[in-house]
Amino acid sequence: MPLTVIVLGSSAGGGLPQWNCNCPQCAAARAGDPMVPPRSQSSIAVSADGERWLLCNASPDVRTQLAQTPALHPRALRHSPIAAVALTNADIDHATGLLILREGGAPPVYCTARTERALTDGLRVLPALASYGAVTVRRLTPGSADPEVIRDRAGEDIGVRLRTFTVASKPPPYMLPLLSAEEIADLHAGDTVGFELSSADGASRVVYVPGVLDLDASLHARLSSAALVLIDGTFFTDDEMIASGASQKTSRRMGHAPLTGAGGLLEFLQSVTGPRKALVHINNSNPALRADSPERRSIEAQGVALSIDGDTFVLG
């Protein structure tokens, strides 16, 4: 059974343009420069039958993303093809879209224990949603031997399988006051995970990792056996935010392996030769957002694409 993947939002948190940013990319996107089209915040949708879809991350832009995607339009007076939502973490750009999906009660939510706790005690999205209808949370266990069978509200198998793996990560900033020093120090507690999605027969494998810091052998093996890799394109260089004066933090400090430099993602991807490779979660500071930039050319020359909102991949 083929799997269809639609990139709903290819940008990192803030989107392009970001509301308070006037960097070259945001300014160009705001001015309608065709070389820098606007991008919405990080999310993909996956389906095995074209009828029922798993939304991977629910961005604050989800309302517009669904409106712009015919496959995700309602087909009855009250209906949505979104059968369930799976979250890679509890970041604001990945989770607050759940609040937009409240009418009629939010779809079932697949997430790790750490993400469930963040959405319950930190952002309080889940308690808030519960007042609009019962929310079913289905717990994801990273590294589990059997893939999770994705089911809709009624418990019916939608033909999509999900394997979850941890990536080194910190809790979302709003959780820091609520966690012990020990909990914060545990970088593999499941605050952020990657997804390996497939059809029921295990074929058409997609690896979706919008945030990744450690580029290790196990990730390499996982990416190599996939048909499609949608991976962290947040920052082009490690010191991009510092150089532009936008922040004091490096890419790595923010939990993202930079694309370039020693130990960067592009270098790592060079020996991942099987799958199609495309970047997602691209921050507005990334100069490769400009279609005619040398940075974009250098990425594409290495066999890696920059995904854009609406990109659709059909994996046979």
Q: Which stretch binds Zn ion (CB under 5 A): 21-29, 78-86, 197-205, 212-220?
A: 21-29
Backbone angles phi, psi at 282, to 5 degrees: -90, 120
Map the footprint of Zn ion across residues 283-302, applying CB under 5 A: 284
Using the 8-state DSSP alphabet, how is residue 282 labeled? B
Buried b / exposed e along 219-248 (16+ C-beta atoms within 10 A)? beebbeebbbbbbbbbbbbbebbeeeeeee
The minimum distance between CB 21 and Zn ion, in angstroms, equals 3
Q: Please give the torsion angle defined by the CA atoms of residues 153, 69, 49 and 161, in that order, rounded to the nearest 10 degrees.
A: -60
Whether 283 contacts 41, CB under 8 Å: no
Residue 21 near Zn ion by CB under 5 A: yes
Task: Kindly tell me which of 26 and 279 has the beta carbon lying closer to Zn ion.
Answer: 26
Task: Kindly tell me which of 61 and 196 has the beta carbon lying closer to Zn ion.
Answer: 61
The minimum distance between CB 19 and Zn ion, in angstroms, equals 10
Euclidean distance between CA atoms 160 and 93, whole angstroms? 24
Task: Kindly tell me which of 4 and 11 has the beta carbon lying closer to Zn ion.
Answer: 11
Q: Which residues, 6 or more positions from 167, have their beta carbon under 8 angstroms from its beta carbon?
A: 192, 193, 194, 209, 211, 212, 213, 214, 219
What's the Cα-to-Cα distance from 310 to each of 1, 93, 242, rounded to whole Å? 22, 18, 31
Q: Which stretch binds Zn ion (CB under 5 A): 19-27, 33-41, 49-57, 202-210?
A: 19-27
Q: Which stretch binds Zn ion (CB under 5 A): 26-34, 90-98, 217-225, 268-276?
A: 26-34
Instruction: Give the per-residue contact string, 250-269, with Zn ion (x = CB under 5 A; - = no).
Output: --------------------
Q: Which of 5, 7, 8, 26 binds Zn ion (CB under 5 A)?
A: 26
Task: Kindly tell me which of 164 and 284 has the beta carbon lying closer to Zn ion.
Answer: 284
Q: Which residues, 6 or more positions from 15, have their beta carbon under 8 angstroms from its beta carbon?
A: 9, 38, 39, 40, 41, 61, 284
Residue 36 near Zn ion by CB under 5 A: no
Q: Which stretch binds Zn ion (CB under 5 A): 2-10, 22-30, 38-46, 228-236?
A: 22-30
Q: Please give the structure tokens belonging to residue 16.
A: 């392009």
Task: Kindly tell me which of 184 and 246 has the beta carbon lying closer to Zn ion.
Answer: 246
Euclidean distance between CA atoms 87 and 115, whole angstroms? 8
Q: Which stretch binds Zn ion (CB under 5 A): 54-62, 85-93, 230-238, 277-285?
A: 277-285
> What three-state secondary structure class fits 176?
helix
Residue 87 near Zn ion by CB under 5 A: no
What's the Cα-to-Cα distance from 306 to each of 7, 78, 287, rounded to whole Å? 11, 35, 12
The minimum distance between CB 306 and Zn ion, in angstroms, equals 16
Task: Kindly tell me which of 204 and 293 has the beta carbon lying closer to Zn ion.
Answer: 293
Task: Kindly tell me which of 126 and 279 has the beta carbon lying closer to Zn ion.
Answer: 279
Residues near Zn ion (CB under 5 A)? 21, 23, 26, 284
